[in-house]
């Protein structure tokens, strides 16, 4: 393992780069790199502090990039050395994207490679890193969103590596697959739409006007591809984040300008929208979003199939406009330049029906690792029904159920502090 230490403002940082097997069942086979950054309060560099590994949301999200002690990190640094892991394929770990994946060969080879980028492999990477840093001593884990999914995989297959676990907005269904997930998240997305248009009632007609304009005009995003009504509809992905909810309104309010030929979509709007609907910075999110729910079954493009069964989301002229949410559709692999080269591999992953298990429900029922989880009652991305069922199915798991926060509640310093308090209060 290679390392480098430096100071960054009010943080002491150490970077680690570790070679790990691509396929952990073949430790002598091909290897890739995994990167992590450990941050410590400079006043406590020499203190004997325990480590907390932060499991990032996603899939396909790189580790948190701190610029100062703020939010949840400020609270964590009072008690921990915080290890920020770039999950395999992201950040400074060996990247997996449209530029690197073609080096694997054809679509079949790319899809096979990507089967090793789910939670089970991420957990195995984390275990190798833990042993390098502290031998047999277990560490604590904090999982945000998909990071919580990884934490439950960790508890299933390597609980000996964990001292305690904290989860925010990320208790996954243990047995249900993608169809059951999207059946509920479409419901939550409709509810968030209702809340959004109640707050910004004029935006519904504005969105209908944008859709109509896109039907009759060739409009290109700054990245060169055509903007279609369905691509515009996916701009609702952030509606479940408190930090993004009103940002969509501010984007929409500058949608039109009066051009030479009449109203047209403004460059300001198109540039902002391009950032909202592109997967250039996190392509694995699109490629693996449905496979992260698969255990022994194929996703078969679940979100697209269920979309056809949800007439309230149809873009008909007589249907009030609704944004979609955290769903990935096949058409984005034909539209987004960051994804077009990965379309065939994504199709193969959607058809794969022999995915291994990500959780061990029996072992989780006997879990002895203290686990504390924030369940956001109105979460648009991780349905409360699944989270509460999992909370009841996992031993030694203490839930905190709240409607005071959205899915990005961890950004508020008090959320992690509340879970730490819950750990101290629990016998």
Predicted TM-score (pTM) above 0.85? yes
273-to-22, 62, 287, 306 alpha-carbon distances in Å: 35, 22, 21, 25
Residue 169: predicted pLDDT: 98
Cβ neighbours around 356 below 10 Å, total: 11
Q: What is the pLDDT of residue 299?
A: 98
Q: Judging by beta carbons within 10 Å of its beta carbon (0-12, 13-18, 19+), is residue 278 exposed, middle or buried?
A: buried
Catalytic site includes residue 267: no
Tens digits of pLDDT across the chain (427 residues): 999 998 988 999 999 999 999 999 999 999 999 999 999 999 999 999 999 999 999 999 999 999 888 889 999 999 999 999 999 999 999 999 999 999 999 999 999 999 999 999 999 999 999 999 999 999 999 999 999 999 999 999 999 999 999 999 999 999 999 999 999 999 999 999 999 999 999 999 999 999 999 999 999 999 999 999 999 999 999 999 998 999 999 999 999 999 999 999 999 999 999 999 999 999 999 999 999 999 999 999 999 999 999 999 999 878 899 999 999 999 999 999 999 999 999 999 999 999 999 999 999 999 999 999 999 999 999 999 999 999 999 999 999 999 999 999 999 879 999 999 999 998 7
The per-residue pLDDT for 143 is 98
Look at strands 162-168 and 371-376 and give their pairing: parallel
d(CA 351, CA 370): 37
The whole-number pLDDT of residue 412 equals 81
Measured CA to CA, the distance from residue 319 to residue 69 in angstroms comes to 47
**Which residue out of 136, 318, 354, 362 is catalytically annotated?**
354
CATH 3.40.50.1820 residue ranges for the chain? 2-174+359-425
Q: Are 151 and 141 in contact (CB under 8 A)?
A: yes
Question: Is the separation of the CB atoms in 275 and 223 below 8 Å?
Answer: no
Torsion of CA 38, 40, 42, 44, to 10 degrees: -130
Contact 423, 141 (CB under 8 A): no
Q: Is the peptide bond before 298 cis (omega within 30 degrees of 0)?
A: no
What lies within 8 Å, CB to CB, of 373 at 6+ separation is 148, 166, 167, 168, 170, 171, 387, 391, 397, 398, 399, 400, 419
Domain 2-174+359-425: assigned CATH number? 3.40.50.1820
pLDDT of residue 264: 98
Catalytic residue among 64, 200, 405, 407: 407
**Any catalytic annotation for residue 407?**
yes
User: What local confidence, expressed as pLDDT, does residue 86 receive?
Assistant: 98
Indicate the helix (H) or strand (E) that contains 384: helix 384-393
**The sheet that has 397-402: what strands, in order across it?**
2-8, 11-21, 31-40, 81-86, 51-55, 139-144, 162-168, 371-376, 397-402
User: Residue 19 and residue 94: Cα distance in Å, rounded?
Assistant: 10
Give whole-number Cα distances, 365 to 90, 297, 392, in Å.
32, 23, 9
> Is 3 an active-site residue?
no
Inter-residue contact 52 to 1 (CB < 8 Å): no
DSSP states along 26-78: -TTS-EEEEEEEEEE-GGGTTS-PPEEEEE-SSSSPPPP--SSS-HHHHHHTT
Task: Please pick, among 145, 156, 299, 387, the residue that the annotation labels catalytic.
Answer: 145
Determine the Cα–Cα distance for residues 347 and 345; give it in Å rounded to an integer.
5
For residue 138 the two structure tokens come to 């277990």
pLDDT of residue 15: 98
């Amino acid at each position: 393992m290679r390392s480098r230490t430096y100071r960054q403002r009010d943080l002491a940082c150490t970077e680690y780069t570790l070679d790990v097997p691509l396929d952990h069942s073949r430790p002598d086979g091909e290897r890739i790199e995994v990167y992590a950054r450990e941050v410590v309060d400079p006043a406590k560099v020499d203190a004997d502090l325990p480590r907390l590994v932060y499991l990032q949301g996603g899939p396909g999200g790189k580790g948190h990039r701190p610029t100062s002690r703020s939010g949840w990190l400020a609270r964590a640094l009072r008690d921990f050395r915080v290890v920020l892991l770039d999950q395999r394929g992201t950040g400074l770990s060996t990247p997996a994207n449209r530029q690197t994946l073609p080096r694997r060969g054809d679509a079949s080879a790319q899809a096979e490679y990507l089967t090793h980028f789910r939670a089970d492999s991420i957990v195995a990477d984390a275990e190798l890193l833990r042993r390098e840093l502290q031998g047999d001593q277990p560490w604590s884990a904090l999982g945000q969103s998909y990071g919580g999914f990884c934490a439950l995989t960790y508890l299933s297959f390597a609980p000996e590596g964990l001292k305690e676990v904290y989860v925010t907005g990320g208790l996954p269904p243990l047995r249900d697959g993608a169809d059951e997930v999207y059946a509920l998240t479409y419901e939550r997305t409709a509810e968030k739409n209702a809340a959004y248009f109640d707050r910004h009632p004029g935006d519904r007609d504005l969105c209908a006007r944008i859709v109509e304009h896109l039907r009759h005009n060739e409009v290109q995003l700054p990245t060169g591809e055509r903007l279609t009504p369905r691509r515009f509809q996916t701009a609702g992905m952030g509606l479940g984040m408190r930090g993004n909810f009103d940002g969509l309104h501010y984007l929409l309010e500058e949608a039109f300008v009066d051009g030479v030929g009449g109203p047209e979509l403004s460059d300001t709007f198109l540039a902002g929208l391009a950032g909202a609907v592109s997967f250039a910075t996190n392509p694995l999110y699109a490629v693996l979003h449905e496979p992260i729910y698969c255990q022994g079954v194929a996703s078969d493009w679940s979100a697209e199939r269920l979309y056809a069964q949800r007439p309230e989301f149809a873009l008909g002229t007589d249907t009030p406009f609704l944004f979609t949410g955290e769903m990935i559709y096949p058409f984005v692999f034909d539209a987004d330049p960051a994804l077009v080269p990965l379309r065939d591999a994504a199709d193969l992953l959607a058809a794969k029906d022999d995915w291994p298990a990500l959780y061990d429900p029996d072992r989780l029922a006997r879990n002895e690792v203290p686990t504390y989880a924030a369940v956001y009652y109105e979460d648009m991305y991780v349905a409360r029904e699944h989270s509460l069922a999992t909370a009841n199915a996992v031993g030694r798991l203490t839930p905190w159920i709240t409607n005071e926060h959205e899915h990005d509640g961890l950004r508020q310093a008090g959320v992690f502090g509340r879970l730490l308090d819950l750990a101290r209060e629990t016998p």
